[in-house]
Amino acid sequence: MTSIKITGVEKRFGELLALSDINLAIEKGEFFTLLGPSGCGKTTLLRTIAGFYRQDKGDIWLGGELINDVPAYLRNTGMVFQNYAVFPHMTVYENVAYGLKVRKLPAQEIEKRVKGALRNVHLEGYEARTPDKLSGGQQQRVGLARAMAIEPRVLLFDEPLSNLDAKLRVEMRDEIRAVQKALGITAVYVTHDQEEALVISDRIAVVNFGKIQQVGPPWEIYKNPVNLFVATFVGKINALDVVLGEDLGSGLRRAQAGSLSFAVPSAGTEGCSDAVLAFRPEEVVETADAAGVNRLSGTLVSTAFLGTVVSMELELGGSTIVIERHRPKKGDIPATGNRVEFAVPPESCFIFDKRTGARLRAEEGR
Q: Which residues bind ligand ATP (CB under 6 A)?
A: 13, 16, 18, 36, 38-44, 192
Query: Shortest distance, CB of residue 14 to ligand ATP, whole angstroms?
Result: 7
- CB nearer to ligand ATP: pick between 164 and 316: 164
Which residues make beta-bridge pairs with 350?
278
Query: Shortest distance, CB of residue 207 to ligand ATP, whole angstroms?
Result: 7
Length of the chain: 366
| Secondary structure element (H or E) that encloses residue 339, with its range | strand 339-343
Query: Shortest distance, CB of residue 21 to ligand ATP, whole angstroms?
Result: 15
Query: Shortest distance, CB of residue 41 to ligand ATP, whole angstroms?
Result: 4
- CB nearer to ligand ATP: pick between 38 and 259: 38
Query: Which of 206-230 are b and which e, b meaning 16 or more Cβ less than 10 Å from the residue's Cβ?
Result: bbbebbbbbbbebeebbebbbbbbb
- How far apart, in Å, are the Cα atoms of 345 and each of 4, 249, 314, 366? 41, 16, 17, 21
CA-based nearest residue to 148, from 189, 173, 115, 196: 115
- CB nearer to ligand ATP: pick between 143 and 298: 143
| Secondary structure element (H or E) that encloses residue 46, with its range | helix 42-50
- CB nearer to ligand ATP: pick between 33 and 238: 33
CB atoms within 10 A of CB 205: 23
Helices then strands, each counted (H, E), the chain: 8, 21
Query: Shortest distance, CB of residue 13 to ligand ATP, whole angstroms?
Result: 3
- CB nearer to ligand ATP: pick between 13 and 73: 13
CB atoms within 10 A of CB 85: 16
- Give the residue at shortest CB distance from ligand ATP: 43
Query: Shortest distance, CB of residue 124 to ligand ATP, whole angstroms?
Result: 33
CA distance 44 to 271: 39
Residues 35 and 208 sit within 8 Å (Cβ to Cβ):
no
- CB nearer to ligand ATP: pick between 159 and 353: 159
Residues 263 and 248 sit within 8 Å (Cβ to Cβ):
yes
- CB nearer to ligand ATP: pick between 46 and 322: 46
- CB nearer to ligand ATP: pick between 91 and 162: 162
Please classify residue 193 by burial: count the beta carbons closer than 10 Å to its beta carbon, then call 0-12 exposed, 13-18 middle and 19+ buried.
Answer: middle
Query: Shortest distance, CB of residue 354 to ligand ATP, whole angstroms?
Result: 26
Please classify residue 61 by burial: count the beta carbons closer than 10 Å to its beta carbon, then call 0-12 exposed, 13-18 middle and 19+ buried.
Answer: middle
- CB nearer to ligand ATP: pick between 44 and 95: 44
- Amino acid at site 131: P
Query: Shortest distance, CB of residue 200 to ligand ATP, whole angstroms?
Result: 16
**Residue 201: partners with Cβ closer than 8 Å, 6 or more residues away:** 31, 32, 33, 189, 217, 218
Question: Angle 306-308-309 (CA atoms, 0-180°, nearest 5)?
Answer: 65
Query: Shortest distance, CB of residue 223 to ligand ATP, whole angstroms?
Result: 24
- The pairs formed by 71-74 with CB atoms below 8 angstroms and a separation of 24 or more are none
Query: Shortest distance, CB of residue 59 to ligand ATP, whole angstroms?
Result: 19
- CB nearer to ligand ATP: pick between 40 and 118: 40
